[in-house]
Amino acid sequence: MPTHLSADLLAHARAAKGFMPEDEGELLHRWARVRLPHGPALEVGTYCGKSAIWLGGAAREVGGTVFTVDHHRGSEENQAGWEHHDETLVDPALGLMDTLPTFRRTIHAAGLEEQVVAVVGRSETVGAWWRTPLSLLFIDGGHGVEPARADFRTWPRWVEADGVLVVHDVFPDPADGGRPPYEDIYLPALASGAFSEVEVVGSMRVLRRTSGDAGDPV
Ligand SMILES: C[S@@+](CC[C@H](N)C(=O)[O-])C[C@H]1O[C@@H](n2cnc3c(N)ncnc32)[C@H](O)[C@@H]1O
């Protein structure tokens, strides 16, 4: 069985708009291959589908489903005037960011519509009704304090025993990047005693659920 993303999907992942370096994408793909046979994966923070290609590629190889949650209106840093704004992603009729059409084209072109399911809405709203155990949870949503805290309150409890929580943009050194994924997701997950770190690549942290099971509070 190949452990690398197939050449065709790698080309799609490279071409997709987004924020997922290749070594970190490979990490996601590898863990998704391990975990997807045990249950679905869920990503918080779809944007235009770059990381979803790495996850969906694993689902195509080993079977399984990847849910990806986003309101598609962009994070603070994606808004006009901010560092990561892309004006081609603004809906001209509304004057608002809308990454959903680009995501849909990206996933269609990659041939992953069967594996990757978009859930369109605010993370906390979707999560309030979520009840399905997750084999892999990838948090890459809003990077401000409030969205990071909300994602931590909402999602890690749904990781099943032995499942993994993967967190993006974890920077222990403030000189490297923003604090909330580190202070408000990664550190509390470890402090909860429910998760133990199993791998680090770049700003990605992989934590395995070593105590409790899906639905138990974290
Ligand atoms: C860093 S981007 C995700 C990057 C993506 N994983 C990739 O590979 O390119 C963060 C995304 O989270 C979404 N987001 C931010 N806060 C959110 C919230 N509260 N609910 C749902 N989506 C949110 C934004 O719309 C944005 O698309």
- Please give the domain boundaries of the chain with CATH numbers for all domains: 7-209 (3.40.50.150)
**Residue 18 near ligand 1, beta carbon < 6 Å:** yes
Nearest CA residue ID for atom 15, ligand 1: 142
**Residue 126 near ligand 1, beta carbon < 6 Å:** no
Rounded average pLDDT over 64-69 = 98
Q: What is the pLDDT of residue 3?
A: 64
Q: What is the pLDDT of residue 42?
A: 99
**Residue 106 near ligand 1, beta carbon < 6 Å:** no
Residue 4 pLDDT grade (very low, low, confident, very high; cuts 50, 70, 90): confident
Give counts: helices (H), strands (E), the chain. 8, 9
Q: What is the pLDDT of residue 167?
A: 98
Neighbours of 74 (CB within 10 A): 22
Q: Which of 26, 66, 75 to mutate to test the pocket of ligand 1 (most atoms within 8 A of CB)?
A: 75
Which letter does DSSP use for residue 81 in this model?
Answer: T
Question: Active-site residue numbers?
Answer: 143
pLDDT over threshold 60, residue 32: yes
pLDDT over threshold 80, residue 1: no
CA of 105 to the centre of ligand 1 (A): 17
Residues 86-137 pLDDT 10s: 999 999 999 999 999 999 999 999 999 999 999 999 999 999 999 999 999 9
Q: What average pLDDT is seen over the chain?
A: 97
pLDDT over threshold 80, residue 29: yes
Q: How many CA atoms lie within 13 A of 91 on its CB side?
A: 12
Q: Which of 47, 67, 78, 89 to mutate to test the pocket of ligand 1 (most atoms within 8 A of CB)?
A: 47
How many angstroms separate the CA atoms of 182 and 180, rounded?
5
Nearest CA residue ID for atom 24, ligand 1: 74
Q: What is the percentage of the chain residues whose pLDDT exceeds 90?
A: 97
Pick the range with the lowest mean pLDDT from 78-82, 125-129, 185-189.
Answer: 78-82
**Residue 40 near ligand 1, beta carbon < 6 Å:** no
Which pair of structure tokens corresponds to residue 14?
């490279």
DSSP notation for 20-39: --HHHHHHHHHHHHHHGGGS
